[in-house]
Amino acid sequence: MDDCIFCKIAKKIVPVTAIYEDEHFIAFHDLTPQAPVHALVIPKAHFATLMELQETEIMAGALRAVQKTATALDLVEEGFRTVINCRENGGQTVYHLHFHLLGGRFMQWPPG
Ligand code: AMP
Ligand code: ZN
């Protein structure tokens, strides 16, 4: 996906400071943080939304990558929130699957 910003980040065409990285995932800080700590975990392969992801290996790896990223950000003890926005009503704006990882303050529930 030549015009996808997260593909460019995954391929390091756009410079990125990785919080966590493995063969299939990379995590980095969100450009517009919604909490004191706001990271994004993305698969390096392009899936437009959660619903395009079918590979169970990548599904499992995603949660592992979220755990690793939360550990790297020292969020484990205090806790954090993970969010996947899917399509229009989910508020998705970047159509490359990503997991938000929010922490550093109490997260209200329900979300707005
Ligand atoms: P969503 O609304 O779930 O699609 O979230 C997209 C997120 O990507 C937003 O929180 C944006 O701030 C973030 N974002 C967009 N472009 C970049 C970028 N170049 N680097 C880091 N985060 C970005
Ligand atoms: Zn992409």
Q: Please report, for the chain, the start and end positions of each structural domain, with discontinuous segments joined by +.
A: 5-103
Q: What is the pLDDT of residue 59?
A: 97
Q: pTM for this one? A: 0.97
What is the percentage of the chain residues whose pLDDT exceeds 90?
96
Q: Express each pLDDT in 43-83 by its tens digit.
A: 999 999 999 999 999 999 999 999 999 999 999 999 999 99
Centroid of ligand 1 to alpha carbon of 6 (angstroms): 9
State in Å: Cα 93 to ligand 2 middle.
12
Q: So what's the pLDDT on residue 112?
A: 74
Let me know: does 16 contact 28? Beta carbons within 8 Å.
yes
Ligand 1: residue of 9, 12, 32, 96 to mutate (most ligand atoms within 8 A of CB) is 32
Ligand 1 nearest-atom number relative to CA 85: 3
Does 3.40.250.10 match the CATH number of domain 5-103?
Answer: no
Conformational region of residue 91, where left means phi above 0, alpha means psi within -120 to 50, and beta covers everything else: left
d(CA 85, CA 106): 20
Tens digits of residue pLDDT in 10-23? 999 999 999 999 99
